[in-house]
Structure 1
Amino acid sequence: MQLHPPFLALALAAPLAAVAAPVPQDTPYPGAIGLAVDATDLDHKILRIRETIPVQPGRLTLLYPQWIPGNHAPTNELKRLAGLRMAAGGKWLDWTRDPDDFYALNVDVPAGVARLDLEFQQLLPMAPTGSDPFLGRNLLDVQWQGAVLYPAGHYATRIAVDPSLKLPAGWQFGTALRAASASGDEVHFERVSLETLVDSPVFAGKYFKRVDLDPGAARPVFFDMVADDATALESEDDQIEAHRNLVRQADRLFGARHFAHYDLLLSLGQVDYDLGLEHHQSSENSVKDNYFKEWDKTSFQRYVIPHEFVHSWNGKFRRPADLWAPDFNTASHNSLLWVYEGQTQYWGDVLSVRSGMFPIADMRERLARRVAWSQVADAGRTWRSLQSTTDDEIITGRRLPIDWGTWQRFEEYYDEGALVWLDVDTRIRELSNGRRSLDDFAHDFFGVEDGRVAPLTYTFDDVVAALQKVQPFDWAAFLRGKLDTIGPDAPLDGLARAGWRLGWTDKQSDYAKAIDSVREGADFRYSLGLHMGKAGEIKDVQWNGVGFKAGLRPGLTLVAVNLKAYKPDVLRDAVTAAVKDKAPIELLLKDGDDYRVARLDWHGGLRYPILERIEGRPDLLTAILSPR
């Protein structure tokens, strides 16, 4: 292989001696980083980056962000960084990766050099899912953590950055960053800290629409939408009004705004229909392109926007003390995610209904599905506590699939956490004879210091003290009992106190059918203990359920049911028929290159969760969900 400069010099250079990266200090980095991102390579899904960093002679350690806020884990993929070259005074410099920390790059800056010039690429996923950034033919999500290297030794709040972004011709954008100037299709943003930059993604696209959700507000809220097709942006007045009501109801709940401005970013048509990632002054949300077109059928998509909006108060402003970190390469800890995510899940659902974004009947079914999962499907509760699940994102990494979700448990601090907060809310109402509620906690805890944007951290003791102020009770013992207990019973006291209980029906609702349609699957979890994928693949098997006991596991493909080619309706009909004829349901399965038969001895018919009223109990759930 023939080498050419500057690569010859790089190849022959001896590795720099390993030196631990400087510990971040609360001191300003001298000068501002210039960061220019070119996002015009739609064909290859590549961002091309040029960066200038003020430097002083000597050893410099540059860090590629690893721990990303909102992901609760070291999720930024180092493999996306490619083509890195560093230069000073027009000469290429050798750099080496730290052998003890692959996210740290070391370079020796020569005497007389005051600026380091970098160029590299961020290679975006070909088919993004989850919280991945994306670049498509018509829309783009720039997440700055994948497009920047920063000097070690300083808090992210003390490193200044002058960012710019070049977009495909004619594209428009939405972001919490504010434009300082524009030249053609390149926009230069106002100077921000590195922390604010990473916390301010950009949604851009060929088809773009911006709506002011609170006209005339001193701290405005904008709705920035991008779509694969212009028709997906067409909306009715009442649909936009529901989003305006979300802002109003949040104001009434929290009594303060902790942002200078807020941009609700929404992409319509991206592959992952429920992307949601919180930021302090914006949020990333993704839905299918029928979000507005089929409003009456798509309420299940609308939980994500209220959830991420609530995070501006819970998680970004009020932030768990052990989750706060000085930079993006210092490990954070997740012990309070049952507040950060669990209570956000609770308030997101509540505000969804209060605002009119979610019909109350659909929310009852959403809650029924949550309760059914916690009480029936989640067998892992018998060996693993709710508290222990707060480390799941670190354990699994980027929410990678797990084989036995009902046994391993995964991120139960979201939905089970929400059930705990329903228990807290109804308990406060009961103890105070209806005079107080969790609304009072939200106002006192998240509504302090109106206008403050800088994070205000909290501990477990702070949460307990705030609850105690609202309603005297032994909240510490109550919460630890819910968090640390291992056993089969889900925390359903709050549901019963709210006047409802879990029930079952053999009729699949329109709400459930819509979810199956979008996810291109079929849900038999509460009958056969199976969740089916698009082409008959078994996506999930309930631990110790009917399918499990018959030898089924995730990854098998269901070919036929009682000698009829598999379709969801064929399996539904077989489950219904087995109630009367008492014959086993025979499944033909493909297992790699082999085929085998399994017989499921189930005669309980189809089962779908619903909520039923408890006679004689007041309906606190409807009171909780009613607009303020």
Structure 2
Amino acid sequence: MGSGTNGRAWLRPLLLAGLIGARFAAPVNAQVPVPEDRPYPGVMQVSVDATDLDHRVFQVWQRLPVRPGRLTLLHPRYLPGAHGPYGQVDRLAGLQIDGGGQVLPWVRDTVDPSAFHVEVPAGVSQIEIRHQFLSAVSRDTGRVVMTREMLNLQWISLVLYPAGYPVDRIQVEPEVRLPAGWQQASALRARAASAVGAAGGPVRFEPVSLETLMDSPLFAGQHLRRVELDPPGRERPVALHILADSPEELQASEAQIEAHRQLVRQADQLFASRHFAHYDFLLAISDRMGGIGLEHHQSSENGVRPGYFRDWSKRPGARSLLPHEYTHSWNGKFRRPADLWTPNYNVPMQDSLLWLYEGQTDYWGRVLAVRAGLVSPDQMRDSLAETVAQLSHRAGRVWRNLQDTTNEGAMARSRSEAEWSNWQRGADYYAESSLIWLDADTLIREKSGGQRSLDDFARRFFGIQDGRVQPLTYRFEDIVSTLNDVQPHDWTRFLRERLDGHGPGAPLDGLARAGWQLAWAETPSDVQRHQAEDSEVKTDDFSYSLGLQLKRDGRVGRVLWDSPAFRAGMSHALSVVAVNGTAYKAERLAAAITANKTGQAPLDLLVREGDQYRHVRLDYRGGLRYPRLQRVDGSPERLDAGILQAR
């Protein structure tokens, strides 16, 4: 269609016929009741059959007390922890609603596809809901949550619930049927008579609110080991539940288990409180079930690749996962941003304070991993060096500030879809905010003469009302006020300059005040090398030299914006076939980069795009560059000698 009046002539007959008005008017079925602060009348029953290992289908049955009239059932759309509209209503199938001996027709809302409307006839006091959740059968279609050895049941993906009520005012009686001989672990507590689902029967759990149910995922499998991380009789105890593809992966030394116990002790020292009745780490060691790291108030879902215990010296990155998710019990689940809290899972969330929710959690996750002995100080510094290098090369900082990245969850964009990620930016409110909190920590230490630190903020902000489980919300002003209680400073300006600024380069004041700076080496550190080897897709990383990351077969995995590779015309569409006339191998490209440090041997890359070949010439002379942290001579050392020391 052309522009202008003539281009819109097609509208006229539709307007006259009233079709445009009908098309754009509010649909009759678009009225989803808003939550009102009232209890739901009656108790919902939920039963899940998780035994179909062949098709990886969860069968769901629900019984719901109802009243005659219109009822709207909701499938969760806005997911806590994901911070956005990542609900999987597209995997719901076979929905049937019965009441009073008849099938009740339902209509999907035309505005919110996660809402289903049904008219309940007079005389019907309860309905039965049946449907299936069609989980991914391979990694090509999504995260695998069910294998022959284990499963990850997330109630928030399975349960429909009535609109018009806060989820903490809806009571639920849940149960699950598992494959024969499997054991389960969850923050839910099973009724004594059905703790294992004897004789093939279901595991029945104590009644809970829908909010607690949705926040209490379940891991189950053939091979499960439970480890108590607290002394016997400890109030509000913490336990570690380990599942694995094979029994061998459950074996851990006493020193390794002691590091996890030390994590709990160090968190007690940091937060001086426990905001849970009990806490259950759910840890799956598997290359068949999809990995995960997701926080909950009284548990966490943690999925790592095989070798967590077996390859202890080579897997430090995986061991920062549990400290991060455990910190979230205080930061995010107990203390929660006011604009992120919602009465149910279909009211949109706002993520403006994720730089505290996720950013300070990222910081404490790194710190607690070292204080507990899960990660060594050297390993932590090498990991931090990689973070600093990535953020220092984040070209998108010049147009998109850190505060705006907190909208990533609401954008519902997969990070893997961002082909120019260092120009677009992504969820930088994790790592870059961690550097801001390092800045704040070292500033407090400097201004107080070492008498106070960010630990004091953690105790005052997260450690209040010990034992309270109900979320306590906060706003920007509360963060500033608590910081000022710890150490007087213009914290509003401090935070806003770093959140709203557009300057190039990562915020490195805290690193410098800690006594360290970013430096470069010609070989990757052990941590960086192990991370590359441990990933599902093996890569060769030349990010900080050519601005190029390649998969082992030569396919381009990443090109940094405005890097030498970018300026030479390289993109994700290419594969590197040869380096200076010889078939591509990482060591050949590395040797060629080194050889041209004097400018005498520019790189000639033969690249393929579809069925076309061309040559790319790169006259890069900076040599190989891999990040390290280096001590600043004559400066106070506040990292190893302060922040990372166990309490």
Q: Partner amino acid for 2:111? A: D
Q: 2:249 maps to which residue?
A: 232
Compute the displacement of 1:133 (Å): 6.0
How far apart, CA to CA, are the structure 2 residues paired with 1:191 and 1:553?
A: 54
User: When the two structures are superposed, what TM-score results if normalisation uses the length of structure 1?
Assistant: 0.95
Cα 1:66/1:293, change in 2 over 3 Å: same
* CA spacing shift, 1:436–1:488, aligned 2, 3 Å: same
Corresponding position of 1:479? 495
Asked whether 1:30 is paired with 2:41, we answer yes
Q: Secondary structure at the match of 2:114?
A: strand
1:626 aligns with 2:637: no
Measured in 2, the distance between the counterparts of 1:262 and 1:29 equals 28
Given candidates 464, 482, 493, the residue that maps to 1:466 is 482
Match of 1:563 among 581, 587, 597: 581
Aligned: 1:347 with 2:364: yes
Query: 2: CA distance between counterparts of 1:467 and 1:164?
Result: 45
Please state if 1:386 is matched with 2:402.
Answer: yes
- Correspondence list, 1:395-474, <5 A: 395-474=411-490
The unaligned stretches of length 5 or more in structure 2 are 1-26
Counterpart of 2:110 (choices 96, 99, 124) is: 99
The corresponding residue for 1:153 is 164
Question: The residue matched to 1:101 in structure 2 has which SS?
Answer: coil
Secondary structure of 2:441's partner? helix
Q: CA deviation at 1:19?
A: 5.0
2:273 to 238, 245, 256: 256
* Per-residue Cα deviation, 1:47-94 (whole angstroms, up to 9, x for no partner): 011111110111000001000100001101221000000101221111
- Classify 1:379/1:414 alpha carbon distance in 2 versus 1 (closer, same or farther; 3 Å): same
Aligned amino acid, residue 232 of structure 1 = E
1:139 aligns with 2:158: no
CA distance in 2, matches of 1:406, 1:276: 23
State the alpha-carbon separation in 1 of the partners of residues 344 and 248 from structure 2: 41
* Residues 1:266 and 2:283 aligned together: yes
Q: Which amino acid aligns with 2:562?
A: N
Question: Identity percentage over the alignment?
Answer: 50
Q: 2:593 is matched with which residue?
A: 575
* Residue 503 (1) aligns with residue 519 (2): yes
State the AA in 2 paired with 1:437: S
- Give the structure 1 partner of residue 614 of structure 2: 596
Whole-Å Cα distance in 1 between the matches of residues 144 and 50 of structure 2?
A: 12
In structure 2, distance between residues paired with 1:340 and 1:270: 29
CA–CA separation in structure 1 for the residues paired with 2:588 and 2:148: 38
The CA deviation string for residues 422-481 of structure 1, in whole angstroms up to 9 with x for no partner, is 000000011111110000000110000010000000000000000000000110111001
2:224 maps to a residue whose letter is: F
Contact 1:130 1:275 in 2 (8 A): no
CA contact (8 A) 2:147 2:289 kept: no
* 2: CA distance, partners of 1:71 / 1:412: 14
Secondary structure of residue in 2 paired with 1:204: strand
Is residue 144–residue 290 contact of structure 2 (8 Å, CA) maintained in 1? no
2:547 aligned residue: 529
1:455-514 deviation digits (Å, cap 9, x = unpaired): 000000000000000000110111001000111132111110000000000022221110
1:625 alignment partner AA = L
Other structure's SS at 1:18 match: helix
Residue pair 1:582, 1:603 contacting (<8 A) in 2 also: no
1:529–1:542 Cα contact (<8 Å) kept: yes
Shift of 1:540: 0.9
Once the two structures are TM-superposed, the CA of residue 128 in structure 1 deviates from its matched residue by: 4.6
| Aligned twin of 2:311 | 294
Tell me, yes or no, if the aligned pair for 1:275 and 1:285 is still in contact at 8 Å.
Answer: yes
Deviation for aligned residue 1:393:
2.2
Q: 2:505 aligns with which of 478, 489, 493?
A: 489
In the alignment, is the contact (CA less than 8 A) between 1:432 and 1:471 conserved in 2? yes
Q: Distance in 2 between matches of 1:394 and 1:586?
A: 43
Hey, what does 2:18 align to over in structure 1?
none
Contact 2:136 2:142 in 1 (8 A): no
What does the per-residue CA deviation read over 1:597-626, in whole Å, with 9 as the maximum and x for residues that have no partner? 212211221100001111111110111001
Comparing 529-538 with 278-287, greater Cα deviation is found at 529-538
**Residue in 1 that maps onto 2:56:** 45
Structure 2 residue corresponding to 1:72, chosen from 61, 69, 83 = 83
Specify the code of the residue in structure 2 equivalent to 1:67: Y
Give the CA deviation at 1:131. Answer: 9.4
- Quick check: 2:144–2:288 contact (8 Å CA) kept in 1? no
CA contact 1:71–1:398 (8 Å) conserved in 2: no
Q: Are residues 1:241 and 2:258 paired?
A: yes
- Whether contact under 8 Å (1:128, 1:134) holds in the other structure is no
Equivalents in 1 of 2:35, 2:386: separation in Å? Answer: 45
Taking a change above 3 Å as real, the CA distance of residues 34 and 395 of structure 1, as seen in their structure-2 partners, is same
Deviations 1:142-182 (A, max 9, x none): 11111110000000000111111111111111110110142
Is the CA contact (8 Å cut-off) linking 2:82 and 2:409 kept in structure 1?
yes
- Whether contact under 8 Å (2:532, 2:539) holds in the other structure is yes
Residues 117-141 of structure 1, C-alpha deviations (whole Å, 9 max, x = no match): 1110001122359994611111100
Deviates more, 1:509-518 or 1:491-500: 509-518
Distance 1:294 1:309 in 2: 23
- Whole-Å separation in 1 of the counterparts to 2:421 and 2:37: 42
Find the aligned partners of 1:130 and 1:43 in 2 and give their Cα distance. 16
Q: How far 1:273 sits from its partner (Å)?
A: 7.2
Match in the other structure for 1:279: 296
Q: Tell me what 2:344 maps to.
A: 327
User: Which residue of structure 1 aligns with residue 238 of structure 2?
Assistant: 221
Structure 1 residue 17, shift from structure 2 partner: 4.3
**Equivalents in 1 of 2:218, 2:552: separation in Å?**
32
Residue identity matched to 2:188: L
What is the root-mean-square deviation in Å for CA atoms of aligned residues?
Answer: 1.5
Equivalences for residues 119-130 of structure 1 within 5 A: 119-128=130-139
Shift of 1:576: 2.1
The range that moved more, 316-325 or 87-96, is 87-96
* Partners of 1:128 and 1:271 within 8 A in 2: no
The Cα offsets for residues 212-259 of structure 1, whole Å up to 9 and x where unpaired, read as: 011321111110111111111111111111110000000000000000
Q: Is the contact made by 2:297 and 2:328 (CA closer than 8 Å) also made in structure 1?
A: yes
Residue 407 of structure 2 aligns to a residue whose secondary structure is: helix
CA distance in 1, matches of 2:505, 2:289: 33
Contact 1:272/1:287 (<8 A) preserved: no
Q: Secondary structure at the match of 2:549?
A: strand
For 1:274 and 1:383, locate their aligned partners in 2 and report how far apart those are by CA, in whole Å.
33
1:593 Cα deviation after fit: 2.2
Letter in 1 for 2:353: L
Cα distance in 2 between the residues matched to 1:531 and 1:365: 19
- Distance in 2 (alpha carbons) for counterparts of 1:272 and 1:543: 34
Name the residue aligned to 1:8. Answer: none
Q: TM-score, normalised by structure 2?
A: 0.93
**Distance (Å, rounded) in 2 between the aligned partners of 1:151 and 1:534:** 50
- Residues 1:354 and 1:321: Cα distance change in structure 2 (over 3 Å): same
Contact 2:71 2:119 in 1 (8 A): yes
